[in-house]
Amino acid sequence: MANLRMCPHCRAFVDSSERICTECHEPLGRTYAQRVTAGAALAGLVPPTHFTTIIILLINGALFTATVLLSMQRSGGGVWAVNSEVLYYFGAKESLSILTQGQWWRLVTAGFLHGGLLHILMNSWALYDLGAQTEEAYGTARFLVFYLASSVAGFAASTFWSRALSIGASAALFGLIGAMIAFAQRHRGSLLGMAMRSVYTRWAVYGLLFSLIPGIDIAAHVGGLVSGFVLGYLAGPPGPNRAIEWFWKAAAVIAVLIVAVSFLLAWASFQPLT
């Protein structure tokens, strides 16, 4: 997809090289990446538009490393396939534990775990681009809320669909795809909006077709996609209303706290594996 930016006047996406919005013909200021001074994001090593996404990727990577190391210690898994007992210990989605033992936090923690190197690499590749695009469209606060809410909704759907262990960032990824389809739908009258809807709809269709492969949690993907679309359409992009923007900032802080509390509960609920 082309490198796009959002017009602050009409909220349409235009090519980042444009200096005049092709939709409303208002002059465009500098992009977010251009406004950030050199070295502002990890000494300049991380593109500013990817900063929030990189933080999520680092969390996923750290948890993946921890699960792989513990799997190797137990001689029941490794980098290509993490031990299922280890994943359960770290907070994988498991229906009976959620429904009968009240371990709701698994709906949160499952979205940050991965079952093998190929699994995390595929999700990380998709998140690196999709996360930056969604944050550019909706802002950091909405992006964080969409990411967590879509992941939770996806694993909630999976809880009632299958008793199998389920993990991965793909529920959240489908939520971001849904949010971008919703954004395009809001701009359906423009050529760029139609183009965006075509791009992200193809992402959704290809992803859902891939989800038909046995062993892939299609319920989590569908739940994430639907919730992301609904949230994106209802929320809309950032606007001039300060009260609404403060609401989303507060919601983002709450989302981060929920993630932290969920992993604390996961840690507190089990003794270390022997």
Q: Which structural domains are found in the chain, ordered by start?
A: 52-269 (1.20.1540.10)
The pLDDT value given to residue 272: 59
The pLDDT value given to residue 4: 60
The pLDDT value given to residue 195: 82
Section 165-192 average pLDDT: 91
Annotated catalytic residue, options 170, 187, 227, 262: 170
pLDDT tens for each residue of 32-56: 444 333 334 433 444 555 789 999 9
The pLDDT value given to residue 104: 96
Q: Answer yes or no: 221 catalytic.
A: yes
Q: Answer yes or no: 50 catalytic.
A: no
pLDDT band at 9 (very low <50, low <70, confident <90, very high): low
CB 106, CB 92: distance < 8 Å = yes
pLDDT tens for each residue of 88-139: 999 999 999 999 999 999 999 999 999 999 999 999 999 998 999 999 889 9
- Rounded Cα–Cα distance for residues 84 and 104 (Å): 19
The pLDDT value given to residue 39: 38
pLDDT band at 5 (very low <50, low <70, confident <90, very high): low
Checking if the pLDDT of 73 tops 60, the result is yes
Annotated catalytic residue, options 50, 221, 227, 262: 221
Name residues whose C-beta falls within 8 Å of residue 57's C-beta, 6 or more positions apart in sequence. 124, 127, 128
| Burial tier of 69 (Cβ tally within 10 Å: 0-12, 13-18, 19+) | middle
pLDDT tens for each residue of 253-270: 999 999 999 999 999 887
SS3 255: helix
Among 129-138, 156-165, 236-245, which range has the highest average pLDDT? Answer: 156-165
State the pTM of this model.
0.83
Section 179-208 average pLDDT: 88
